[in-house]
């Protein structure tokens, strides 16, 4: 995170971008990418699942497989062991899919963003409803920048998505500088953004 702040601090000091515009369509692929990012980030969230998985492997290795290998029990005894071992990977695989299903209402929607010096204007056109929202930067819970998108989290699990390729007035570096100017550095996170990131 430090290199981003240092690299673009000059942009902030030179002057504020007056307005930056972007128009992002929430395709199924974009929503799926966000759900996966949200579910698996931070990676520390997976630690409890990993611990449970290791426990299941150890438990089954000590209690199910030895009798089968010794011929003291039928191979069918190993079926519960296999189910136990596959349970956690199944949960980690199926959970994001279920989350995508609950997000179907936004697939096909379009958000038009206008980033001003002190606020964000959002014109939302979802499949069944349209709305206009004004948001202060301080209302953002956290901002993540990845290689292709900005995720503007409004809570721990909900975020607005801005594809970098969808910025049509202004540049990626302008928007990055605007975020760094308006939110605390600890709220700005990066994932997969190189030190030599360019607009």
Task: Give me the CATH number covering residue 22.
Answer: 2.30.29
Q: Based on the number of CB atoms within 10 Å of its own CB, is 145 exposed (0-12), middle (13-18) or buried (19 or more)?
A: buried
Distance CA 121, CA 81 (A): 54
Domain assignment present for residue 36? The answer is no
Identify whether residues 134 and 92 lie together within a single domain: no
State the pTM of this model.
Answer: 0.68
> Do 57 and 19 sit in the same domain of this protein?
no
Of 82, 102, 122, at which residue does a domain stop?
102
In this structure, the answer to whether residues 148 and 112 fall within a common structural domain is yes
Q: Domain containing 178: what range? A: 2-26+108-190
Instruction: Let me know whether 19 and 117 are in one domain.
Output: yes
Per-residue pLDDT of the chain (199 residues; tens, 9 = 90+): 444 444 444 444 444 446 899 999 998 889 888 888 877 765 666 677 778 778 777 777 777 667 666 766 666 666 776 777 777 777 777 766 776 666 667 788 999 999 999 999 999 987 777 889 999 999 999 999 999 999 999 988 789 999 999 999 999 999 999 999 999 999 999 987 764 444 4
């Amino acid at each position: 995170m430090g290199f981003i702040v240092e690299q673009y601090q000059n942009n902030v000091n030179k002057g504020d971008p007056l307005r930056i515009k972007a128009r992002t369509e929430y395709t199924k692929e974009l929503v799926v990418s966000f759900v996966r990012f949200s579910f698996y980030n931070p990676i520390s969230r997976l630690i409890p699942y990993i611990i449970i998985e290791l426990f299941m492997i150890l438990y089954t290795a000590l209690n199910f497989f030895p009798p089968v290998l010794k011929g003291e029990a039928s191979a069918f005894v190993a079926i519960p062991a296999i189910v136990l071992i596959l349970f956690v990977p199944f949960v980690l695989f199926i959970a994001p899919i279920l989350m995508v299903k609950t997000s179907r209402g936004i697939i096909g929607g379009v958000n038009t963003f206008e980033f001003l010096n002190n606020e964000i204007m959002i014109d939302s056109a979802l499949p069944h409803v349209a709305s206009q929202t004004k948001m202060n930067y301080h209302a953002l819970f956290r901002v993540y920048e990845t290689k292709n998108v900005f995720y503007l989290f409004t809570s721990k699990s909900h975020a607005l998505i801005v594809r970098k390729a969808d910025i049509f007035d202004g540049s990626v570096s302008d928007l990055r500088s605007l975020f760094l100017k308006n939110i605390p550095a600890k709220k700005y996170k990066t994932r997969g953004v190189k030190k030599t990131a360019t607009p």
